[in-house]
Structure 1
Amino acid sequence: MESTPTPEPRRTVDVASLKALAHPLRVRILDIISQLGPQTSGTLAEILGESTGSTSYHLRQLAKHDFLREVEGRGSARERWWDRPRGSLQIVTRELADNPATSEAAQLVSREFEYRRAAALADFMDHGWLQESREWSEAATVSTTNIRLTAAQLAEVSERLEAFAMDLVNEIRNRGELAGARPVQIHLNAFPLAAGRTTGAATQPEEKP
């Protein structure tokens, strides 16, 4: 008998948590850990070019609002490992974006995540097709479909595509990680992230992971 895939937990971020996340460095830390898995203040400092004191402070703030958790049984009192709880995050809702008390925070968080998504795709488009091995470049897809829809039809497409994607991702996750696995980012595009580093981590000009 086949086992039923475990449903992916889903969390909608509240006002206090959104305001706590509304710092560019915290968004970047959350995104890096989402991409690469558990990190320490030291490994993040190296990736981001920040001090360990700074990354340690922001890690604690993210953990305070349950964006991150300490990895039990790994590290020491002086070197703590942090990971994301399993599940999806709905970072910005229409209510938060329309609320004058949270609109600025919602805009900052949404803009920062969008910048990082765009940077990851741009990096793959500029380098991935030619620099990745044939195995990885042929496994990736970057596709666009144009169609005229009503708002109700668009909602149906969005809901069904997201449901299908999450069912497929959960099914694969539940099989366990295989040798040779590496970070992959899926929008409706699906492509390997730049090997050995994260995209969008460098200093940049002045939504839902």
Structure 2
Amino acid sequence: MFENFKRSWCRRSLKDESYAWLFEPYEGDEAVVFDTETTGLNTKKDEVLSIGAVKIKGDKILTSESFELFLKPSREISVESIKIHHIRPCDLENAIEPVEGAKKFLEFVGNRPLIGYYLEFDMAMMNRLIKPWIGVNLPNRQIEVSGLYFDKKIELIPQGNIDLRFDTILRDLNIPRMGQHNALNDAIMTAMVYIKLQHITKLH
């Protein structure tokens, strides 16, 4: 009830009616897993450098329908930042303007549910790009994989501390880490985590 009211209230703030479909109930069987690489972890000041996303349908990761692009930063990337995301200035030679990238992302995602690891951060970064020109944050349903993992793990160790680091989750689920660290590979690994968790009743 509250969720419907919230969506209805947000819908009134939509500046561009051509995006009204974002608020329509999703009736398909796909979801989009996505990840971002950014200049830092400050959602108010840092910038999105790349977006990687992949669609999933049931138990299948649709790698043929993946999405990856680089966005132009407003200032030079620091050396400290490069050490974290490994995106060099030469990797951004064909990068596009942030708003153009956000529009392409919306076209890819549609009104499908969004899945991610530390999704709150990625959503905040994307909403900073999207809200100024459509007037609202993305209303898509959100699914956090670390939350799904926690819910299954806590049944085994109700009094324990659960390690929710991404590498720990991958090891526990016996999912191999893909070689290169980038937004698309991280999205694909997160999709693997999500699908595996759908079929596990309890974790050991």
TM over 0.5: no
TM-score by length of 2: 0.27
- In proportion to residue count, which structure has more helix? 1
